[in-house]
Amino acid sequence: MSKLSLVGIAGLALVAAVPAIAADLPAEMPVKSTFVQRFTWTGCYIGMHAGGGWAHNTVTDPVLLVQDNVNLGGPGFTTVVPNTFDVSQSGVVVGGQLGCDYQTPSNFVIGIEGAASGSTMKGTRNIPLPDSPPDTALLTIKTDFMPAVTGRIGYAFDTWLFYGKGGVAWASSKYSLAGNFSGAGAIVPSIPFDFEGLSNRVGWTVGAGIEWAFAPDWSARLEYDYYDFGTHVATMNDVANGPGPLSFKTTMQMVKLGVNFHVWGWQ
C-alpha cells in the first residue's frame, strides 16, 4: 500500500473520530503553535551579527594641513592645491540588532530595526609632501562604531523572507595624520607632527537580505548594506602645532551574517 493511501485512511479515521474526541475536550483548546504550522514573521526579535566591512574615503587636503601649518611650512607654503587622496578601509564587523516585524495576510512583511556594530575597519595611506621632499605623512582612518535605525519591507515564503531595508546610520571614526616635517631639508632636526581628529557622522543606508527561520524561535540571515555618510570636515588637532581642517567623503559596504531569536510572535 502506498504511503499516500495510508495517509488518506488515517485522515478518514480522524474525521470519523472527531465527535468522540471533541466531547472530551475543554471548551477552549490551548493555542500553542508548533513549527509544523505555518510560520509567521509577525513578532519581535533580538540577535547578533558578524561580517566584513569596507569603506572608501576621499580625503582633502592633507598636504595643505601639514605644509601650511604655522609651525611647519607656514601659510602659503603649499604650491599646488587642492590635493585629494583615496583611502580604503576594511575590517571585521560584530554587533547586535533588535527589531519587530508585521506580516500581512498577503505575506508582505514590514518592520523596523535598531542595530549597532563594532568594527575594526582601518585604512592607511602614506601621503607625499610635495613641497618638502622626501617627507611623507601617514594618514590613518579607523571606524569603530556604527549604529543604525532602519525600516524593512519584504515578502515571505513561509520560513523564508526576502527583504530590502533603508534608514539612517551613524559612524564614529578616528583620524590621524602623522610624520616629520623638514621643510625640504631646511629644518634640522625635522619637526614631528601628529594631527588627530574625531567624527560622529550621520548618513543613510540601504540594503537587502534573505532570512530563514530554521527553528521555532530562531532565524539566520545574510545581508548586504550600503552606507553613504556624505562629506564631513573634521577638526584635526596637533597639541604642539595647532588645529586645521580635513575633509572626508565616505561610503561603506558591509556583508553580515546574523542570527535572531524571535519573541512574542506565534507563542
Partner 1 sequence: MRRDRSDRSLRNFRFAFAFAEIILLGAWLTIGLTRSALALPSFARQTGQPCGTCHTSFPGLTPFGRRFKLLGYTTGGGLYKTTPFSNNAGPNEAYASLRNYATSVDGDGAAGQRAWVPPISMMAIVGFTHTQADLTPPTSPYKPNNNTVLTPFSGFWGGAITSNIGAFVQVTYNAPAPLSALTGTPADQFIHTWTWDNTDFRFANTARIGSLDLIYGITANNNPTVQDVWNTTPAWTFPFAVSNLAATPAAKTIIEGAFAAHVGGVGGYALLNDMLYLEVTGYQTLRFGQQNSLGLDPFATPGLFSGVAPYWRVAFEPNWGPHTFMVGTYGMIFAINPWFDSTFTQGSTATLAQSNRFTDIGFDSQYQYQGSNYWVTLRANYIREFQRLDAGFATGSSNPTDLLNTLRLTGEVTFGGNNRFALSGQYFKVWGTSDPLLYAAPTFANNSPNSDGWIAELDYIPFGLSRAPGWPWFNAKLGLQYIHYNKFNGTTLGAQDNNTVFLHAWFAM
224 lies in the site for partner 1, by CB under 8 A? no
62 lies in the site for partner 1, by CB under 8 A? no
Q: Out of 182, 199, 219, 250, name the contact with partner 1 by CB under 8 A.
A: 199
Three-state secondary structure string covering 3-43: HHHHHHHHHHHHHHHHHHHHHHCCCCCCCCCCCCCCCCCCE
Q: In whole angstroms, give the CA distance from residue 173 to residue 195.
A: 14
Q: In whole angstroms, give the CA distance from residue 11 to residue 147.
A: 53
Nearer to partner 1, 1 or 36 (CB): 36
Nearer to partner 1, 108 or 264 (CB): 264
Write out the three cell numbers for 101: 516585524
131 lies in the site for partner 1, by CB under 8 A? no
Nearer to partner 1, 88 or 267 (CB): 267
85 lies in the site for partner 1, by CB under 8 A? no
Residues between 231 and 250 that touch partner 1 (CB under 8 A): 234-235, 237-240, 243
b/e code 91-118 from CB counts within 10 Å (16+ = b): bebebebebbbebeeeeebebbbebebb
CB of 252 to partner 1, least distance (A): 17
Site string for partner 1, 141-180 (x = CB under 8 A): ---xx-x----------------------x-x-x------
Nearer to partner 1, 125 or 142 (CB): 142
Write out the three cell numbers for 46: 533580538
**Piece of 11-19, 85-93, 131-139, 230-238 that binds partner 1 (CB under 8 A):** 230-238
**Piece of 14-22, 75-83, 139-147, 157-165 that binds partner 1 (CB under 8 A):** 139-147
Q: Out of 124, 180, 196, 257, name the contact with partner 1 by CB under 8 A.
A: 196
- Site residues (CB under 8 A) for partner 1? 44, 46, 48, 96, 98, 116, 118, 144-145, 147, 170, 172, 174, 194, 196-200, 217, 234-235, 237-240, 243, 261, 263-264
